[in-house]
Structure formats: structure tokens, C-alpha cells
Amino acid sequence: MRRIGRAVSVGLRRSLPMAMAMAIGSLMLLDFFFDEAHINALGGFFLESTVIIVAFALLLGLLNVLTVHLRRIIKREGGWIYSIALVSIALIVIIAGIPGPESAGVTWIFDHIQFPLQAATFSLLAFFVATAAYRGLRVRSLEALAFVLTAVIVLIGQVPVGRYLGEFVPALKDWILNVPSTAGVRGIIIGVALGTIATGVRVLMGFDRPYTSERDSTQ
């Protein structure tokens, strides 16, 4: 009796999540392709449920952040001072947000701290692009040579001085951007679309099961 119960339990643990994933996935697919009131209503319900589940996942994420940094503080691991700062600031923002996300405290924190910090961090991108370009311009292979030549032609074609060298420079730049570059981008997009479809179909058909511990039924 116990063995039967265990077998049923194991079977349910394997098949129930898969059956739910396949059923709900198929429903969402039908909702996308067909415009029918009942399917639309069910699809909308599951989409709203996703938002709620993600909100709970955000709480889990916050707990993870606090766990990692509290452990660092307790064990005095490297950078534990910064962990104290992070935990303190997290608690301050949580307390400031108790009256609501639009409260004066949260608004002030975002306007005077969060957004300026974001802008400052993103401003590093300009310098990082320059260093990345310098590293990328080292000719190590045929690909790198093509990369360098293309970059030089497009750069010169973009600036006014390119036109002084000859009309063919901006024309060549335009051709590079409109023909091989666009063709390459479209090829990548087609490949990505097929890869995305393949990933979704594998989950729909139960080949991939990221929602269980048994990830693949056909290893």
C-alpha cells in the first residue's frame, strides 16, 4: 500500500507540473493566435497571475540579498563594510516606502540618489566603449581585420572630413550599413527567432522542464 502511494506521489510530482505547463502554455498560445472571448479571459487571468508570482519572487530576491550580505557582515568577509551600507540603505528605503511607492520619501530617494547614480554609472559607458574599441582594434585574426577595416570606413564616412577624401567614402559607408550589415542583422534575427521558437516548443512538448528537478526527459 505504501509502495503504491509512493509511486502515485512520484508520478504526480513528475507529471502534474508538466501537464500544467503544457496545458497553460497551449492556452496562452491559442490566446495569441485566436481572438475568442473565453480564451482571452483565461489568458488575461494567467498573465495577471504572473505579475503576482513575480512580486513574490521579488520578495525572495530581497531575502537572498539580505542573507548574502548579512552573512558577509557576520563572517567579516571582504567588503563587509559595504554590506553594512547596503543593508542599512535597503532598510531605509523599505521604511520610506511603507506609506506607498509614490510617497515623498521614496520619490526624494529616487530623484536625488537613484537616478543621478544611474546616470553616473551609465556615463562610464562612453569610456568603456573607447577601451573596448581599442581592444577590439587589435588585429588578431581575419575576423578582427574585417572588424577594424569596417569600423575605420564607417567612422571616416560618418564625419565631415570623409567627404573631403572623396564622395566614395560616405557612399561606401552607406553601402556597408545598408547591405552587408543589415543582411547580417537580419540573419541573426531569423536565427534568434527560430531558436526562440525551438525553446518554447521544447517546453510546450515537455522535453524541457525547467520547473522541475528533472530538467530533461530525454537525456
Partner 1 sequence: MGFLSEVLGNLGIGEQQALMFALLLPFFPLLLIVNRRIRERGRPPLRPIPGYAELQEYLGEATESGRSAHVSMGTGGIGTGATAESLAALNVLEHVAAQAAATGLDVVATVSDPSLWPVAQDVVREARVAQGYPESNDPGCVRFVSSDKVAYAAGVMDILGHEDVSCNVMVGSFGDEFLLISEVGARNGLRQVGGTTSPQILPFVYPSMDQTLIGEEIFAAGAYLLGKTSHLASLAVQDWLRSAIILTILIGILVRSLA
**Site for partner 1, rule CB under 8 A:** 32-36, 50, 53-54, 57-58, 60-62, 64-65, 67-68, 71, 78-79, 82, 114, 117-118, 121-122, 124-125, 128-129, 131-133, 135-137, 147, 184-185, 188-203, 205, 207-208, 210-211, 213, 215-219
Nearer to partner 1, 44 or 191 (CB): 191
Helix (H) or strand (E) holding 95: helix 80-96
CA dihedral sign, ordered 216, 64, 101, 108 = negative
For the chain, what is the largest distance between any 2 Cα atoms, rounded to a whole number of angstroms? 90
Q: Which is nearer to partner 1, 4 or 120 (CB)?
A: 120
Q: How far is the CB of 78 from partner 1 (least distance, A)?
A: 6
Q: Which of 17, 18, 38, 16 is nearest to 27 (CA)?
A: 38
**Of residues 7 and 58, the one with the C-beta less far from partner 1:** 58
Residue with cell 566603449: 129
Least separation in angstroms between CB 201 and partner 1: 5
168 vs 207, beta carbon nearer partner 1: 207
The C-alpha angle 217, 51, 92, rounded to 5 degrees, equals 120
Shortest Å, Cβ 4 to partner 1: 26
Nearest residue to 67 via CA among 89, 86, 92? 86
